[in-house]
A and B are shown apart, each in its own frame.
Chain A
Amino acid sequence: MTVVDQKKCDECGTCIGVCPQDAIILGKALRISSEKCTSCGICVRICPFAALSTDGGKSK
């Protein structure tokens, strides 16, 4: 699944805007739902600060 590096994340919500699965929530910090995420990688590519990465579904 896709994971967020909280140190790099600026909490801008760009990834949420493109997520086709509604798998990302911005509350106090950014969270990605392991149930909903399909590791499609759209959010990873668009992140302006390279805060997201995908491990190819290994940790699911």
Chain B
Amino acid sequence: MSDAANNKYDIIVVGAGPAGSMAAMAAAEAGRRVCLLERKSKAGAPVRCGEGVGFKGLTLSVEPRPEWIKSTLTRARMVSPSGINVEIKNGAEGWILDRERMDAGLAAMAAEKGAELIPNTPVTSAEKLPDGTYRCVSAETGDAREFTAPCLILADGVESRLARGFGWNTALKPGDIESGAFARVKSKDIEPDCCVFYTGSKAAPGGYVWIFPRGEGEANVGLGVIGSRCRPGLPKELLLSFIAGRFPNAEVTDLHCGGIPVARWTRPLVKEGVMLAGDAARQVNAINGAGIAYSLYAGKAAGAAAAKSIRPNGTCDHRTLTEYHRTWAKNYGKQLDRSYALKEFIMSANDAFLDRIAESLSKEDPAKISYLRVFMRAFASKPLLLLKAFKLFK
């Protein structure tokens, strides 16, 4: 029986999101036999994401296709709890993506490079076999199917369930996850080039509401509520009432929900022949919940290390896999650690404090306001936090 009929691979990737598809693409490009297992019938749907990404973060890892980009953002506005506007206008910095197209496109690119994309395959269990290889079982769709390989990349999203079987404790504390709701809104009141953020405990306790215009009178409107301040159904209620107030008579479609990890990235990222990538590894910016660029980068690095680790006899050199952890830690790890530390500060800020910052920033030149400036202003009134953060920045 051939290896293909036996479902034997060099590398198994679980989850065809941005991290999983990049990993499969990188490993297949290097000539490895790769399978990419996806729970759903196709990658990318439904979209559980604001779809915003910075130019640099995206293009660092992949050349975006024109059809992946819905619109370009040239300005932003932050609205404080009592309604003070802070305008930010320092040039085009980001895109709104079509995640459905991008995710499907990335999975297709992985398949073009030779990875075997296998949809409708929820992996129900994964384990290490006595010979040192790993077995994934999909036992939910008719006959159980098995896949084995000496190297396993888990990119199974916010659930990160399979990692637990290999000794990682990936269960998130309620303070380390945002409970999110997402919708598409069609309305004549949408500003085409401006993303808007609403903060405050009424809008989204421990999180924020976003409006990301995607062109043609349509926007992604969504929010996250920190898990520790959530109650059943609150994100959906808050989102629908926000939309009703801000965009009366709008057409609302694609209402979905999802969790956004705002935790420290998982350490270690590699154990023996198993690697974690993307939301499964909590590779997300804890301040704003951004994760696309990090997932692309991590997936690519994990896939490259996995490809390099396969020996001529088909076994996996576990030490080579740890290159992925080091590459990640060096290039993004520290940055995300700082964001996580700053999240603590954001969470501790009450509405009156957010209003005071907005009040002082609203008098500044919109072209000169940056994230950094917002934080410096915030720290100026909480010097103890500055001290704490300084330790992390040095």
**Nearest chain A residue, comparing its CB with the CB of B123:** A27
Chain A 18-53 against B: per-residue CB contact (8 Å), 1 yes, 0 no?
Answer: 111010111110000000000000101111111011
Q: Is there an interface contact between A48 and B236, defined as CB atoms closer than 8 Å?
A: yes
Q: Is there an interface contact between A18 and B232, defined as CB atoms closer than 8 Å?
A: no
Bound: A20/B210 CA distance, A? 30
Q: Is there an interface contact between A47 and B232, defined as CB atoms closer than 8 Å?
A: yes
A residues near B48, Cβ cutoff 8 Å: 12
Q: Is there an interface contact between A45 and B257, defined as CB atoms closer than 8 Å?
A: no
Q: Is there an interface contact between A18 and B174, defined as CB atoms closer than 8 Å?
A: yes
Bound: A53/B164 CA distance, A? 24
Q: Is there an interface contact between B256 and A28, defined as CB atoms closer than 8 Å?
A: no
The distance from the CB of A43 to the nearest CB of chain B, in whole angstroms, is 10
B258 at the interface (CB under 8 A from A): yes
The distance from the CB of B300 to the nearest CB of chain A, in whole angstroms, is 24
B residues near A50, Cβ cutoff 8 Å: 232-233, 236
The distance from the CB of A20 to the nearest CB of chain B, in whole angstroms, is 5
Bound: A47/B237 CA distance, A? 12
Selected from B122, B174, B234, the residue in CB contact (under 8 A) with A28 is: B122
**Nearest chain B residue, comparing its CB with the CB of A50:** B233
Contacts known (A46-B227, A46-B230, A48-B179); A18 close to B172, Cβ less than 8 A:
yes
B158 at the interface (CB under 8 A from A): yes
Q: Is there an interface contact between A26 and B256, defined as CB atoms closer than 8 Å?
A: no
Chain B 33-45 against A: per-residue CB contact (8 Å), 1 yes, 0 no?
Answer: 0000001000000
Q: Is there an interface contact between A26 and B158, defined as CB atoms closer than 8 Å?
A: no
Selected from A13, A18, A19, A53, the residue in CB contact (under 8 A) with B227 is: A18
**Nearest chain B residue, comparing its CB with the CB of A16:** B159
Q: Is there an interface contact between B233 and A17, defined as CB atoms closer than 8 Å?
A: no
B151 at the interface (CB under 8 A from A): no
The distance from the CB of B139 to the nearest CB of chain A, in whole angstroms, is 8
B177 at the interface (CB under 8 A from A): yes
A residues near B258, Cβ cutoff 8 Å: 10, 12-14, 48
Bound: A49/B235 CA distance, A? 7
Q: Is there an interface contact between A27 and B164, defined as CB atoms closer than 8 Å?
A: no
B residues near A27, Cβ cutoff 8 Å: 39, 122, 124, 139-140
B180 at the interface (CB under 8 A from A): yes
Q: Is there an interface contact between B257 and A49, defined as CB atoms closer than 8 Å?
A: yes
Selected from B141, B161, B173, B235, the residue in CB contact (under 8 A) with A16 is: B161
B residues near A16, Cβ cutoff 8 Å: 158-159, 161
Interface residues of B in 159-187 (CB under 8 A from A): 159-161, 164, 170-174, 177, 179-181
Task: Name the 10 nearest CB pairs between A and B, nearest first.
Answer: A50-B233, A14-B259, A48-B257, A27-B140, A16-B159, A48-B235, A50-B232, A13-B159, A12-B258, A27-B122
Contact sample, A vs B, 24 pairs, CB 8 Å cutoff: A10-B256, A10-B257, A10-B258, A12-B256, A12-B257, A13-B258, A13-B259, A14-B179, A14-B259, A18-B171, A18-B173, A18-B174, A19-B171, A20-B171, A26-B122, A26-B159, A27-B39, A45-B232, A46-B227, A46-B230, A48-B180, A48-B233, A48-B235, A49-B235
